Amino acid sequence: MSKGTLFDKVWDLHTVGILPSGQTQLFIGLHLIHEVTSPQAFAMLRERGLKVLYPQRTVATVDHIVPTENQARPFADRLAEEMIQALEKSCKDWGIRFYNIGSGSQGIVHVIAPEQGLTQPGMTVACGDSHTSTHGAFGAIAFGIGTSQVRDVLASQTLALDKLKVRKIEVNGSLPPGVYAKDIILHVIRTLGVKGGVGYAYEYAGTTFEQMSMEERMTVCNMSIEGGARCGYINPDRVTFAYLKGRDFAPQGADWERAVAWWKSIRTDKDAIYDHVVTFDASEIEPTVTWGITPGQGIGINDAIPTADTLPQSERAIAEEAYRYMHLTPGMPIKGTKIDVCFIGSCTNGRISDLREAAKFAKGRHVAEGVKAFVVPGSETVKQQAEAEGLEKIFLEAGFEWREPGCSMCLAMNPDKLQGSQISASSSNRNFKGRQGSSTGRTLLMSPAMVVAAAVKGEVADVRELL
Where along the sequence are the contacts to ligand SF4 (CB under 6 A)? 63-64, 108-110, 129, 131, 346-347, 407, 410-411, 428-429
Start-end of H helices in 62-194: 78-94, 109-116, 147-156, 181-192
Maximum CA extent, the chain: 63
Dihedral (Cα; 93, 99, 104, 107), 10-degree rounding = -150
Q: How far is CA 349 from the centre of its chain?
A: 7
Angstrom distances, CA of residue 350 to CA of 252, 288, 321, 406, 409: 28, 18, 30, 9, 12
- Of 124 and 133, the one with the shorter C-beta distance to ligand SF4 is 133
Q: How far is the CB of 154 from ligand SF4 (least distance, A)?
A: 19
Q: How far is the CB of 218 from ligand SF4 (least distance, A)?
A: 11
Q: How far is the CB of 242 from ligand SF4 (least distance, A)?
A: 25
Closest CA to 134 of 357, 449, 349, 358: 349
- Of 143 and 280, the one with the shorter C-beta distance to ligand SF4 is 143
Q: How far is the CB of 350 from ligand SF4 (least distance, A)?
A: 7
Q: What are phi and psi of 304, to 5 degrees?
A: -95, 155
- Of 149 and 208, the one with the shorter C-beta distance to ligand SF4 is 149
- Of 184 and 407, the one with the shorter C-beta distance to ligand SF4 is 407
Q: In angstroms, rounded to a whole number, what is the distance separating the alpha carbons of residues 99 and 108?
A: 10
Q: How far is the CB of 45 from ligand SF4 (least distance, A)?
A: 23
Closest CA to 71 of 321, 431, 404: 404
- Of 158 and 429, the one with the shorter C-beta distance to ligand SF4 is 429
Closest CA to 447 of 357, 366, 368: 357
Q: How far is the CB of 152 from ligand SF4 (least distance, A)?
A: 20
Start-end of H helices in 295-424: 313-326, 346-349, 352-362, 380-388, 391-397
Q: In angstroms, rounded to a whole number, what is the distance separating the alpha carbons of residues 85 and 102?
A: 15
Q: How far is the CB of 228 from ligand SF4 (least distance, A)?
A: 16
- Of 9 and 435, the one with the shorter C-beta distance to ligand SF4 is 435
- Of 428 and 431, the one with the shorter C-beta distance to ligand SF4 is 428
